[in-house]
Amino acid sequence: MLRLAVCGCNGRMGKALVNAIQENAHVVLSGVTIAPGSTLADQSLADIATDDLEKIIDKVDVVIDFTTPQASLKHVEICHRYGKKIVIGTTGITSDEKKIIEKASKDIAIVLAPNTGIGINICLQLLPQVAKMIGLDADITIIEAHHRNKVDAPSGTALKMGEEIAQGLPPHHKDIAYSSIRAGDIVGEHTALFAIQGERIEITHRATDRSIFAHGAIRAAQWLASKTSGLYGMREVLAL
């Protein structure tokens, strides 16, 4: 049985991950972390909860982390030291922070994914193809919407969409525009809009339940179990 730990179990994604793992017959929840000084929201987890991942790292096979860039880097360092695998769904990670993760991945297996949903990763596969066919003629805007408490904007998924589109564009295409909405309890909506003369193409993904990200992260953890090192994304996990 694959033993998983969830970092940040008090957060929106942390709670979704805990529920999804407990409902999955093929994995077991062996540990959870909370931020230092925080109160555990779900007291049923008290026996496996800690404010320091290092205290439970020996009890787990794969760590799943949807926290903050600073916390994620600390958790990567602990996993690296103990030879554990980690799935990182944290967004807002800078290029310099990614280099630290890349360095650790030479020794441990890591999945780094701004969005672990299956549907959005299928959409990401389509974007370079559309961009290549449209060429220089399109005005391209990525529109994303999330709940009011999401800090980073544009979202990590929106930036990933931009990267994928850029791969299909010819040289010297004008910049891709981004528009971010933070309102209510929106789980996540992303649209890539390609506007040309007289028509437009829109590729949209809407997440209506946070559990899709949790199930995707568990799938990534299960896939990662057979890897010894390397940095991967959901493209590899889903064999796209």
Give residue 165's pLDDT band: very low, low, confident or very high (50, 70, 90): very high
* Cα-based torsion angle of the residue sequence 22, 25, 28, 32 in order, rounded to the nearest 10 degrees: -20
Tell me which residue of 48, 21, 23, 22 sits closest to 34, measured CA to CA: 48
Comparing 171 with 227, which gets the higher pLDDT?
Answer: 227
pLDDT value at residue 170: 86
Is the pLDDT at 210 greater than 80, yes or no?
yes
Top pLDDT among 86 and 170 is at 86
Q: Residue 135: is its pLDDT beyond 80?
A: no
pLDDT recorded at residue 33: 97
| pLDDT of res. 136 | 83
**Confidence label for 151 from pLDDT (cuts 50, 70 and 90):** confident
Mean pLDDT of 37-60: 95
pLDDT band at 173 (very low <50, low <70, confident <90, very high): confident
**Mean pLDDT rounded to a whole number for the chain:** 95
The predicted-structure confidence for 99-129, as pLDDT tens digits, reads as follows 999 999 999 999 999 899 999 999 999 999 9
Active site residues: 146, 150
Whether 240 has a pLDDT exceeding 80, the answer reads: no
Delineate the domains of the chain, giving CATH numbers in brackets.
Answer: 2-112+211-237 (3.40.50.720), 118-207 (3.30.360.10)
